[in-house]
Amino acid sequence: MRRIAVCPGSFDPITLGHLDIIKRASKLFDKVIVLISANAAKTTSFSFTERLSFIEKATSELALDNVVIDILDGLLADYVRNVGAIAIVKGLRAVSDFEYEFQMALANKKLYEGAETVFLTTSAENMYLSSSVVKQIASFGGDISHFVPGCVLEDIKNRLVKENRNEY
Ligand code: PNS
């Protein structure tokens, strides 16, 4: 039996923290589906196509043969059931993540009994890292080279710096 895991997230944009979790999940499961999903509570800066292309670049650079990328239009629990995945993999940074992640894990399990959530603890160097921190720093022209994969650094920077050029 092929053990499939789904790694869902907004990935707006992908960070080194996300990539670390994807890499580690790819060692634990036969196949990992990185699933770009809509989060109703967030407005995104990058389109699904942009986010997909960033993840594609970052994962193909690492030659992660068992990682594929998909876009979710619907409920995560339904997707997990449809592809026959045995786990939802998420990174847990700090206690502050826990309540939200715990709530989602329980809701997904209620929607589909087979939706087991597995949490990987974030590597120490990525504890503080999030897509919104990256966006804040980049939009004011700050250095995000330690936060995002090098192959997508320029794409992300160019888009976010432009976005923040206000008219006064
Ligand atoms: O990276 P994020 O924004 O924390 O990821 C949250 C995400 C996208 C995984 C979550 O919002 C999600 O699963 N969205 C898909 C729609 C869905 O199933 N929502 C109910 C989750 S309980």
Is residue 93 in a domain?
Answer: yes
Whether 167 maps to a domain, the answer reads no
Number of structural domains in the chain:
1
Is residue 93 annotated as part of the catalytic site, yes or no? Answer: yes
123 vs 17: CA distance, rounded Å: 8
Quick one: residue 61, left, alpha or beta (phi over 0 = left, psi -120 to 50 = alpha)? alpha
Structural domain span for residue 143:
4-157
Cβ–ligand 1 distance for 60 under 6 Å, the answer no
| pTM of the predicted protein model | 0.94
CA 107 to ligand 1: nearest atom: 22
Q: What tens digit of pLDDT does each residue of 124-166 get?
A: 999 999 999 999 999 888 999 999 999 999 999 988 876 655 5
The CATH number of the domain holding residue 107 is 3.40.50.620
Q: Round to whole Å and give the CA distance between 71 and 49.
A: 9
Closest listed residue to residue 163, CA positions, set 136, 130, 133 = 136
Once rounded to an integer, what is the mean pLDDT over residues 4-31?
97
What pLDDT is attached to residue 93?
92
Q: What's the confidence (pLDDT) of residue 21?
A: 97
Residue 83 lies in a domain: yes
Residue 119 contacts residue 104 (beta carbons within 8 Å):
no
18 is a domain residue = yes
Whether residue 77 has pLDDT greater than 70: yes
User: Which of 33, 35, 37, 71 to mutate for ligand 1's pocket (most ligand atoms within 8 Å of CB)?
Assistant: 37
For residue 167, pLDDT over 60 is answered with no
133 lies in some domain: yes
Residue 105 is assigned to a structural domain of this protein: yes
Q: Any idea which of 41-45, 54-58, 82-86 has the lowest mean pLDDT?
A: 41-45
Average pLDDT over residues 2-18: 97
Give the list of residues 6+ apart from residue 44 with CB closer than 8 angstroms, or none.
10, 12, 51
Say what percent of the chain tops pLDDT 70.
96
Q: Is 105 in the pocket of ligand 1 (CB under 6 A)?
A: no
In a domain, 44, yes or no: yes
Residue 162 in any domain: the answer is no
Q: How many CB atoms within 10 Å of residue 67?
A: 22
